[in-house]
Amino acid sequence: MNLDLSKHVIVVSGGAKGIGAAIVHALAAEGARPAVIDRDADALAALRKECILSASVVADLRDLDACRDAIATIAATTGRIDGLVNNAGVNDSVGLEHGTPDRYRESLRTNLHHYYDLAHFALPHLKLARGAIVNVASKTAVTGQGNTSGYASAKGAILALTREWAAELLPYGIRVNAIVPAEVMTPLYQQWLETFPDPDAKRADILSRIPLERRMTLPAEIAAMACFLLSPRAGHTTGQHLFVDGGYVHLDRALT
Ligand code: NAP
């Protein structure tokens, strides 16, 4: 299937590592022109050596001005924005019992506010392109995890915003969908595993609970869904929450 993404400028937040980087590689392979915003300057420099980017911006998206400037820089460099992948986020373990109200607010800034900010600033360009938005959420939005109130509520809001923006942007032909990953091996996931006393045992335990093939989802499998959703081939798909998780969230527990 030709996804017809050739020359499309797609902004990917948090695109220097993990799932975001896999999306960037997949977009480039489809002939699109990925533009990356990430705060990890070293990882972004490494990515630039592997892949042709239409623009790259080192920025911390917790800062509103940084979001505005990043979109302005990308638009000035590329002349167009056809799609936005809101992906940057951190599972930061701000719980109800062991967190604080200040850390909770900070977690929303880390995981939620920039999804709105980037979409807001990119919107004039997306309107011109009749573009598409893909929001990366998390299974924690619907399953909970424990000790991660900030992250889980941000991800829940991202699922709600996906429906809300899909409705609001109908007149412009802009489609908005969410991908909901569960267990994907990335630098962030590895860091989380290493918080357990026996990371290998924890990993084996998780794998045993993933219905399809008892394995983690590959970043490339999330990226393939993102490319499809961004492409004209998904022209009548909007407001959807796509669980790319090997059946982890929805299939019967008895199967594992
Ligand atoms: P990752 O390996 O940490 O990669 C994310 C990249 O985004 C990193 O380079 C990170 O930089 C950057 N980033 C984070 N916050 C940023 C900010 N405020 N401003 C600029 N850059 C920022 O993470 P990942 O596992 O690929 O996760 C990507 C998305 O998938 C996240 O939204 C996550 O919640 C979601 N997700 C992942 C999984 C999974 O199993 N991996 C499951 C469910 C949902 P730093 O390294 O400096 O933070």
The total number of structural domains that make up the chain: 2
248 lies in a domain?
A: no
Do 74 and 196 fall into the same domain? Answer: no
At 227 the pLDDT is: 98
Do 189 and 97 fall into the same domain? Answer: no
Do 92 and 151 fall into the same domain? Answer: yes
Q: How many CB atoms lie within 10 A of CB 251?
A: 14
User: Quick check: is 151 catalytic?
Assistant: yes
At 89 the pLDDT is: 98
Distances from the Cα of 92 to the Cα of 112, 126, 195, 200, 254, angstroms: 13, 31, 12, 21, 31
What is the residue range of 212's domain? 185-216
Location of structure tokens 């992948």: 85
Do 92 and 211 fall into the same domain? Answer: no
* Kind plus residue range of the DSSP H or E element containing 56: strand 55-58
Do 134 and 226 fall into the same domain? Answer: yes
What tokens does 255 get? 């199967």
Do 97 and 144 fall into the same domain? Answer: yes
123 lies in a domain?
A: yes
At 219 the pLDDT is: 98
Residue nearest to atom 3 of ligand 1 (CA): 188
Evaluate: CB of 141 within 6 angstroms of ligand 1: no
For residue 177, the cross-strand partners are 134
What tokens does 152 get? 């889980």
Evaluate: CB of 178 within 6 angstroms of ligand 1: no
Specify the ligand 1 atom closest to the Cα of 16.
9
Do 127 and 151 fall into the same domain? Answer: yes
Residues 188 and 224: beta-carbon distance below 8 Å = no
Residue nearest to atom 16 of ligand 1 (CA): 88
203 lies in a domain?
A: yes
Local confidence pLDDT in tens for the 256 residues of the chain:
999 999 999 999 999 999 999 999 999 999 999 999 999 999 999 999 999 999 999 999 999 999 999 999 999 999 999 999 999 999 999 999 999 999 999 999 999 999 999 999 999 999 999 999 999 999 999 999 999 999 999 999 999 999 999 999 999 999 999 999 999 999 989 998 998 999 999 999 999 999 999 999 999 999 999 999 999 999 999 999 999 999 999 999 999 9
Evaluate: CB of 24 within 6 angstroms of ligand 1: no
256 lies in a domain?
A: no
Do 128 and 227 fall into the same domain? Answer: yes
At 103 the pLDDT is: 98
Backbone torsions φ then ψ of 61, nearest 5 degrees: -75, -5
99 lies in a domain?
A: yes
Residue nearest to atom 44 of ligand 1 (CA): 138
- Cβ neighbors of 190 (< 8 A, separation 6 or more) are none
Do 137 and 207 fall into the same domain? Answer: no
Report the C-alpha gap between 253 and 233 in whole angstroms: 34
At 239 the pLDDT is: 99
Residues 36 and 20: beta-carbon distance below 8 Å = yes
192 lies in a domain?
A: yes
Buried b (16+ CB within 10 A) or exposed e, 59-96: bebbbeebbeebbebbbeebebbbbbbbbbbebbbbbe
- Cβ neighbors of 63 (< 8 A, separation 6 or more) are none
Do 110 and 223 fall into the same domain? Answer: yes
Evaluate: CB of 38 within 6 angstroms of ligand 1: yes
Q: How many CB atoms lie within 10 A of CB 212?
A: 12
- Cβ neighbors of 166 (< 8 A, separation 6 or more) are 175, 176, 177, 238, 239
Report the C-alpha gap between 4 and 242 in whole angstroms: 21
What tokens does 256 get? 């594992």
Do 233 and 211 fall into the same domain? Answer: no
253 lies in a domain?
A: no
Do 30 and 61 fall into the same domain? Answer: yes
Question: Which CATH number fits the domain that encloses residue 105?
Answer: 3.40.50.720
139 lies in a domain?
A: yes
Handedness of CA 231, 175, 65, 73 (dihedral sign): positive
Specify the ligand 1 atom closest to the Cα of 59.
20
